[in-house]
Amino acid sequence: MTHPTSTEIAGRIEDLYGVPLATLEAHAQDQSAGILTALLGLHNTLALAEHSITVHRGRLAQLIHPERDISAHEMVHVLDCARRLAEAVAVRDTQAVTASAVLQSLVRIEPAEQPESPEQVDPPAPSPAPPTTTVPPAPPAAVTGSAPSR
């Protein structure tokens, strides 16, 4: 199953927001957590996983090169590298599916067209007056004195 790469996800994020990823990252640093921060986090984790896959695949190819003898000591490194590669693939797959699903659920909303001249602007309809509720005044409170009642 092929998943979108971090480059494809970055392009989709840029298309959604209409600005370059670097600008979005700078903007997100000044904002509280939100969907943009989550999308950028998914993208960064996906990019890191892809880099990790490349590194561990290269290292594994070195370790199991046909001209190289693999001792018991080196076998531990082969297994560790294979485990790390598998973990990176799992992270990449999970992040790619999640980022893709989130991006599919979002759509870019184009800003409304601005009129060219003030004559084209219809004045807003006056809003109706808020409903009024009349509350009858409360009856006067009973006056109590210090004298005993009869």
Residue 60, token pair as written in the block: 């594994």
For the whole prediction, is pTM greater than 0.75? Answer: no
Alpha carbon of residue 79 to chain centroid: 35
Helices vs. strands in the chain: H and E counts, helices first: 4, 0
Cα distances (Å, whole numbers) of residue 121 to 112, 113, 128: 13, 12, 21
Cα distances (Å, whole numbers) of residue 46 to 26, 82, 87, 91, 124: 19, 19, 12, 7, 48
Q: What is the pLDDT of residues 48-76, one digit of tens each?
A: 999 999 999 999 999 999 888 888 888 99
Q: What is the pLDDT of residues 113-130, one digit of tens each?
A: 655 555 554 555 454 444
Burial of 99 by CB count in 10 Å (0-12 exposed, 13-18 middle, 19+ buried)? buried
